[in-house]
Structure 1
């Protein structure tokens, strides 16, 4: 089975980027206990003050889909939605690189 990756670009309400980042960082902390989540990183854009990027790698697409049905994930999404004006995502198929194990 191949790994599943995603870049997600979140556009926060003006001035709400840091509050949105806190919610996403809580999700990242919760993902520490999910073995199938191999990478979940929140990034600030250096050129756009209301933009955050999330970089994710999962052991498989099904694990990512299952994570969206968890109660903690649903609660985080509910808290984050009022802070977001837009979301764009790009699905990826990771093929290797530093920090990613394919064993």
Structure 2
């Protein structure tokens, strides 16, 4: 089983691409921390929103990643570009038809 965290962030008008650039920087530390997938997305119908879907080895691995220096730096850089409006959902994955 894996831990899945999904959410969205509303950016200041016109700052979506700046937030995307921060969130998509190469980060080998995330993989080393137990992150299996970290996908950043956009929807042109919501031009100031960034979506994120993460898959982790465990909820604990996700929590520990928030203490990485690279994660803290990215959060500090992105925060002024956000409105504070965000969503978050998390769950334990019980399976997938894509793997045994």
TM-score when scaled to structure 1? Answer: 0.85
Aligned residues: 98
> Which of 52, 55, 71 is residue 54 of structure 1 equivalent to?
52
After TM superposition, the structure 1 = structure 2 runs for residues 48-87 of structure 1, keeping only pairs within 5 Å, are 48-85=46-83, 86-87=85-86
Listed as ranges, the gaps of 5+ residues in structure 1 are none
Aligned match of 1:37 = 35
Listed as ranges, the gaps of 5+ residues in structure 2 are none
Q: CA RMSD in A?
A: 1.8
Q: Does 1:6 align with 2:5?
A: yes
TM-score when scaled to structure 2? Answer: 0.88
